[in-house]
Amino acid sequence: MDVDLSQRLVPDGLWELVAPLLPPFNPRPQGGGTAPCDERAVFTAVVYVLTSGCAWRHLPETFGVSPATAHRRFTVWTEAGLWRRLHRAVLDELGARGELDWASAIVDAASVRAKRGAR
């Protein structure tokens, strides 16, 4: 994969926050299945899909990760709460550096009409 793209998507500082939060890869005890692969490459591929809007099946081969592996890890990481913990870690890091300014914040919400009889 293009090193510049990889560094732009997942800079070293971000990877230092992400790596300890990733759940460990557990190979199947009976063997077979998926082999462990470079977690940073998988994470970078997932970030690419999430930020570009690319369909999983169209993930470029240059990432060195199959679309199935990237999607499977995304699912495992989502179920493990990675994205929530990563969001918190990034906010904690920015706060520790004094780079957060809560004086201006944007809150996004959706409003849905209640069905008849709903409270």
The three-state secondary structure class of 116 is coil
Pull the structure tokens for residue 4: 């510049």
Residue 20's Cβ-side half-sphere holds a number of Cα atoms within 13 Å equal to 5
Q: Which amino acid is at 92?
A: D
Nearest residue to 82 via CA among 74, 93, 91, 92? 74
Residue ranges covered by each domain of the chain? 3-96
Whether the predicted model's global pTM rises above the 0.75 cut: yes
The three-state secondary structure class of 79 is helix
pLDDT in tens, the chain (119 residues): 667 888 999 999 999 999 999 998 777 777 666 667 899 999 999 999 999 999 999 999 999 999 999 999 999 999 999 999 999 999 999 989 988 887 877 777 777 777 776 65
